Structure 1
Amino acid sequence: MSTLEIKDLHVSINTEQGNVPILKGVTLTINTGETHAIMGPNGSGKSTLASTIAGHPRYIVDSGSITLDGEDVLEMSVDERARAGLFLAMQYPVEVPGVTMTNFLRTAKTALDGKAPSLRHWTKDVKEAMTQLRIDADFAQRNVNEGFSGGEKKRVEILQLELFKPRFAILDETDSGLDVDALKVVSEGVNREHGKGNMGTLLITHYTRILRYIKPDFVHVFVDGRIAEEGGPELADRLEEEGYDRFLVPGSATAGA
């Protein structure tokens, strides 16, 4: 079992007005085999946590720690974090003109494993994963995300997840912009990989609809850069009924994404 541990994490961003604090003391432990859902209103710091774990240079860690099996994640470069087993499915996947899906996937897999995968087995794995995610075979020769719909981009993110087999998957609003059919397909892909028991999942979402397909073990409510409440799956049901109003103080403002 592997453990991703976040302790008293404080994170800010640099703006024209100076440093703006976003995360204000987040503590969270995720083990492989577990699914943690992070929910909360806009601007509460959910995506900031995801980007900080992945190593986005915009975010400044003021104090606290992130460790993976005792190793200091904050001392790792972005590529070292990926090789250590951290995977981020982005809220807004970017287009990469001039790089085909085929080249991107195999190059990334080679970089992660330190050696090129067997071409015969790799081709089989890619085709199988694309079929299960209902990605047309022609997409393999298209440039990464170029001209893809929002749903197609999200399916490609989960394609990477299934092929790269990380220890921890951070899914930043993977359900955003998906219709019901695409949501089911994407959720099935996450569940297939998670079901193998070798991956921990950190699922960031505003809504409970994806939690009907990806069942969380723990739910954490983010408000104003802090975890305001924690519980089991029943907490998500309560949030759907009541919303976030009870956590918000009138006149207060949140920062971050």
Structure 2
Amino acid sequence: MRKKLLFVLTTLSLALFLSACGGTTTGTSISSTNKEAVPNDKKVIKIGATAGPYSDQIRKGIQPALEKKGYKVELVEFNDYVQPNLALVNGSIDANVFQNTTYLENFIKEHHVDLTGVIPIPTVPMGLYSKKHHSLDEVKEGTRISIPNDPTNEARALGMLQKFGLIKLKPDADVLHASEKDIIENPKKIEMVPLEAAQLPRSLEDVDFALVNGNYALASGWKLTDAIKLEQTPKNYIIVLTVRTQDKNQPFVKDPVEAYQSKEFNELIDKEFQGFIKP
């Protein structure tokens, strides 16, 4: 009887030991496999974009192309110029489409993050809009013009006002980083009203003119032909598809790049996004 009991206890202990070993081995294998597979086998892409034309480009041109390759595309829309990069840095999204090269460089320097613009995309130009006036000839003393309040687009707006002949900046002012402090001539005593870019369309109820980023103008239901003047968009202000630098060579980045470079996407821009500045 004692031998039989000893045999049963020994067998039970051995079974428990083998079971524990088996569980540990299996768990390690799954964990290791997942860590290696996620970057290369990623099939869900989360792309952030500001509401408007860049989101529309993704829905109509990029998403269908990626779905043909087996991806599931999740579009996340933002209403400002800060959250899309923060979401990219913390991994909530995999890429974003909203910023130009100059803004990206300034954001990287200010926030000490490692992001990369991998490809320029068709960009809608900034424009001068008004609900009260039809020409720059109607600018008079004390005219109020709302402009973006982020440093990159403020400099961009001031550069446009200088080209329109309404103000003059210091000769040594950096056109990519100019601010109101760089204005040396303002003969019409124009009052600048800095606002968040997304608020500019609504500001037209209270100001004479507004320099509005193209994506927000179109998102408000305006047409590019509604603008009194449109920007001749410089290279530094062309929008770029942005990713974490560590991901720039991953397939889930290369595939969207190919979609933006495709013949089908180019034809979509010609058909539905006329007036956009092509890279």
TM-score (norm 1): 0.31
- Structure with the larger helix share: 2
Question: Normalising to structure 2: TM-score of the pair?
Answer: 0.29
Give 1 or 2 for the bigger CA radius of gyration. Answer: 2
